Amino acid sequence: MIKKILVPQDGSVHSKSALDYGLYLAKKFGAALTGMHVVDVVALEGPLLHDVGGSLGFEPFLNFSPKMRDALEERGRVILDGFTAECKAAGAQSGTRMGYGIIAAEICEAAKLADLVVMGSRGLNARFDYGLMGSTTEAVVRRSPEPVLVVPIVFKAPAHPLLAYDGSSHAAAAMHSAAEFCKALKLPLTVVTVSRDEHDSRLKDAEDYLLGYAIKSTCVHVRDETPLGIERYYKGHGHDLLFIGATRHSVILGMVLGSTAEHVMRHVAGPFFMER
């Protein structure tokens, strides 16, 4: 059950959308929100590098690192004060947290004390990213110890969720989350299994599991290549929220997602819920 939701905030319109989704879910689940802002250590290193260059005779440069840190901290406090005000206006229980370091790493560390992370698909530096997701969001999706809900730039209450189910333990965890979501949000759930087989027995497992929830469910088998089949079904049937399990293949230099999750992450505009 979702009772603690972490919502990273960087002052961008994308993080504002994440807050909108967080407030929506907090109301539905009776959950508390934690707004987190991270003072980026990379931003603090820029002046330091110039200082080193100056000390070596390249150019004189004063040490502005302390002033830069103060400015970034003040900006973070303003962002978190805005978060608190929004939560108060919505009647949501909330708290805030300031982090210092590599943004994605700090978010993943804070996620250990949450049940769900809600993030915008991009951040403040969206103009420097490419594809559907920004680099920080992608890193969090890969490494977070808890599920991550990646949301688009504009809030829209979900109405037609889809679960991609392949019978794995990760898909089973995603099915549990999807069922809890649909029960709390009073939504129907479509379960799709994609394979080249004419018949797929895995759907029966999903049907049996969902009998324990008071939700309307539909189970569908699609004959196609798995990643493309999920993408096509999601887009072709008007779904607006995708649940999928992530498969860990390696923990060397972070996490490598399974090929299906990788494809979805890059081709479905979201929102999507990535389960561990």
**pLDDT 10s digits, 137-158:** 888 988 999 999 999 999 999 9
pTM of the model: 0.85
User: Rounded to whole angstroms, what are the CA distances from 148 to 82, 168, 175, 234?
Assistant: 23, 19, 14, 19
Name the CATH superfamily for 4-42+69-151: HUPs (3.40.50.620)
Confidence of residue 254 (pLDDT cuts 50, 70, 90): very low
What is the pLDDT, as a whole number, of residue 124? 55
**Residue 59's pLDDT is what?**
44
Residue 164: which of 101, 246, 84 has the closest Cα? 246
Contact (CB, 8 A) for 265 and 133: yes
- The three-class DSSP label of residue 26 is helix
30-39 b/e with 16+ CB inside 10 Å = b? Answer: ebbbbbbbbb
* More confident: 112 or 130: 112
Using the predicted structure, report yes or no on whether residue 253 has a pLDDT greater than 50.
no
For residue 123, the model assigns a pLDDT of 57
Range with the lowest mean pLDDT among 2-16, 63-77, 78-92, 210-224? 63-77
Q: 72-92: per-residue pLDDT in tens?
A: 899 999 999 999 999 999 999
CATH 3.40.50.620 domain extents, the chain: 4-42+69-151, 161-275
CB-based contact 112:146 (threshold 8 Å)? yes
Q: What is the mean pLDDT of the chain?
A: 84
Q: Which residues of 175-201 are buried (b: 16+ CB within 10 A; e: fewer)?
A: bebbbebbebbebebbbbbbbeeeebe
Least trusted range by pLDDT, from 75-84, 175-184, 195-204, 218-227: 195-204
Between 79-83, 95-99, 247-251, the lowest mean confidence (pLDDT) is in 247-251
CATH topology of domain 161-275: Rossmann fold (3.40.50)
What pLDDT, on the 0 to 100 scale, is given for residue 135?
A: 82
